[in-house]
Amino acid sequence: MIIKKRELFVDVPCVISKPEREKIDDISKISEKAQERLRKVELEAKELLQKTQLEAEKILNEAQMKAAQIVEDAKKQAENLQKTAENKVSSVEKIMHDFHDQLMAKTQDILQKLLEVVRVLIEKIAYKEIDKIDYQRKLEYILSKIASMNNVKVTMNFSDFENYPEIVEKFKSAGIEISKSDALTEGEIIVETELGLINGTKSYAIEIVEELIEEVFGHE
């Protein structure tokens, strides 16, 4: 089979048949539609991207606002908790202070009542009315201790001076000066010696007991 080659001449116009021209037109239309579709897709993609960016910025802003609000709420809550704790501590301190004041006041009241009871006990027990024999033994004991001393002075109550004449004479015989005082009650006696004072009064005994109580319970 012999195939004939067609000679082409550049300068010679090529005649296109109608079917071929229709095909070319269809291809051109398809190309235009494709380009139009591409432009539309690009526009939609651009719009979608812008919309996505706006939504992302909105979400980010909302998240930042919520985070800031959470931080602010947490800060306020912490401040409220701190104030509540401080108020509770202040209330506890006030309660403790009031309790301490009440306790001290009650303690002082009890001590005062205790002192009054002690005073009564001293007067009723330590200085109860003693019989003549007991008091005479007391005076004789004092005489035995001070008989050898010099410059001794004994002060007695008027009634005791009259009720115990024998003891008074023994004091005088030992060279002891005797004096009477209405400041002393029955059973009380004061002996002044070169070594010091022997105080046998109720007030002195009460003072000693009060000092002992203060040593045990403390001072105000």
Question: What average pLDDT does range 26-35 have in this prediction?
Answer: 78
pLDDT at 130: 47
**What CATH architecture does domain 127-217 belong to?**
2-Layer Sandwich (3.30)
Match 């802003």 to its residue by tokens.
61
pLDDT band at 199 (very low <50, low <70, confident <90, very high): confident
pLDDT at 218: 61
Match 């090529």 to its residue by tokens.
14
pLDDT at 11: 52
Q: How far apart are CA 97 and CA 103, in angstroms?
A: 10
Model pLDDT for residues 147-197, shown as the tens digit of each residue: 677 788 889 888 888 888 888 888 888 888 888 988 888 878 888 888 788
Cα–Cα distances (Å) from 168 to 139, 150, 161, 207, in that order, read 9, 17, 7, 29
Environment class of 98 (CB within 10 Å of its CB; exposed 0-12, middle 13-18, buried 19+):
exposed
Domain ranges across the chain: 127-217
Question: What average pLDDT does range 32-58 have in this prediction?
Answer: 83
pLDDT at 9: 47
